[in-house]
Amino acid sequence: MTASQLMGSLATGAYILVQFMITHSAKFALHAQVEPALAMMCVCEMLTYWSQMHCFVVAIYYNHRAVANRARRWTPSPTFINFLFLGFPIILVITALAPVIGLSLIHRQLTARVLQTFDTLMSGSLIWEQMRVSTSEKEKYQLTAQLTQVVSQAKTLGDEVGIRVERLKTCFYSFLWDMLAQLCITIMLFFFVFSIFLHKVQQKEGQPENDSHKSSSFRRWFKKDLPPTSETKPMDPPNENQEQFSNTSRVLINRQLAYLVLRALFIIIAIATSITLCILGILRTHDGTSQSPYWRAVMTWLPPLAGTWSAFPIAWQCWGLYNDELGGSPRTSANSKNAPSAGETIQKNTIQPEHWECELEEIEIRASPMIINPQ
């Protein structure tokens, strides 16, 4: 997920740079292609969405073997989940690359025909200038024949350019429809998976405390449970320290859940922005207004905006991992000061021995052989 976001950020920077150079250099605009950067952005964004969705699926099915006292239900294996969330995005990427490759090839052919048309018109302009200064009838006849040939060649090239332009529009139209279908599938699955995740969390939080500690996989995903010991004793009525620890843990879990909801919201906004881009591209390409400066600017800045929305949760997660590696996250440091450790909890739950139950000193009595003096 981090690698795809990094590659997407690099592709976004290249896309913005190419668009900036196109608007400031006509020579660069004739040779530049934005299709590779656009394809890399779309592919990386799709992988980022599915990676985030995979995190929620892992959270749903994490440690499902802990639920041993309930009726067994079919649960996807980790191999199946990883295969699904790796294979399906690859299929989406392959289907998205086909129209992008077609766009790149047609764009290259169009650029070559446009350059040939410019060269032909340039040669026709030179012939016209020679006809103006020429006085011989024979030279005028030869130049007129050459000019007629140049005009015919320019007309042929113009027809080929028109054909390439129509093919480019059709291929771009297909690319937008393809991306719109993929994004709609992605956002529906994302809503479905995230709603299941929230439902499971609410269901586990509504269980009694003892059942929740025994079978809650989400508590294990949010925080580490206490390690089982062989000296486990029947649970006494909860005292003040246990209630404080339970409340602190519940506040910590709710805060982390709020962080996950916020990350999911950023991903949903990013997908919605990409869907808006595809819809605008389809509408403006169909009515021919996509070449206006305003709509070109809008369709140029919407892809980087979608990438920016999806970059926020990735950067947030990386920052949290960095703080965890340093020895404590700022999100949990305030709660960890008041929360007792696992060892302290076990020590508090264990009944302290009285003074007469302390270890007794062992007194070893040995029978020494009697020494018999010889008579």
321 located within any domain: yes
128 located within any domain: no
203 located within any domain: yes
- Which residues are within 8 A (CB) of 170 and not within 5 positions of it... i.e. 6 or more apart? none
Task: Give the integer Cα–Cα distance in Å for 57 and 197.
Answer: 8
pLDDT band at 233, cuts 50/70/90?
Answer: very low
Q: How many domains, the chain?
A: 1
- pLDDT given at position 231: 45
| Overall pTM surpassing 0.75 (yes/no) | no
- Which residues are within 8 A (CB) of 138 and not within 5 positions of it... i.e. 6 or more apart? none
**Which of 182, 161, 199, 2 is CA-nearest to residue 92?**
182
Report pLDDT digits (tens) over 145-159.
Answer: 888 888 888 888 888
Task: Give the integer Cα–Cα distance in Å for 225 and 208.
Answer: 16
Task: Give the integer Cα–Cα distance in Å for 64 and 222.
Answer: 15
Angle at CA of residue 172, ends 171 and 173, nearest 5°: 90
358 located within any domain: no
Half-sphere exposure of 75 (CA within 13 A, CB side): 16
Task: Give the integer Cα–Cα distance in Å for 33 and 29.
Answer: 8
220 located within any domain: yes
18 located within any domain: yes
Report pLDDT digits (tens) over 51-103.
Answer: 777 777 777 766 444 444 444 455 667 777 777 777 877 887 788 788 888 88
170 located within any domain: no
CB 7 within 8 A of CB 40: yes
Mean pLDDT score of the chain, rounded to an integer? Answer: 71
Report pLDDT digits (tens) over 242-273.
Answer: 555 555 555 556 677 777 788 888 888 888 98
Report pLDDT digits (tens) over 122-142.
Answer: 888 888 887 777 667 777 788
49 located within any domain: yes
**66 DSSP assignment:** G
Buried b (16+ CB within 10 A) or exposed e, 277-311: bbebbbebbeeeebeeeebbebbbebbbebbebbb
Give residue 276's domain range. 2-66+74-101+183-228+238-333
**Which of 93, 276, 290, 89 is CA-nearest to residue 173?**
290
Which residue type, as a one-letter code, is found at position 195?
S
**Which of 283, 306, 304, 305 is CA-nearest to residue 295?**
283
Whole-angstrom Cα Rg for the chain: 36
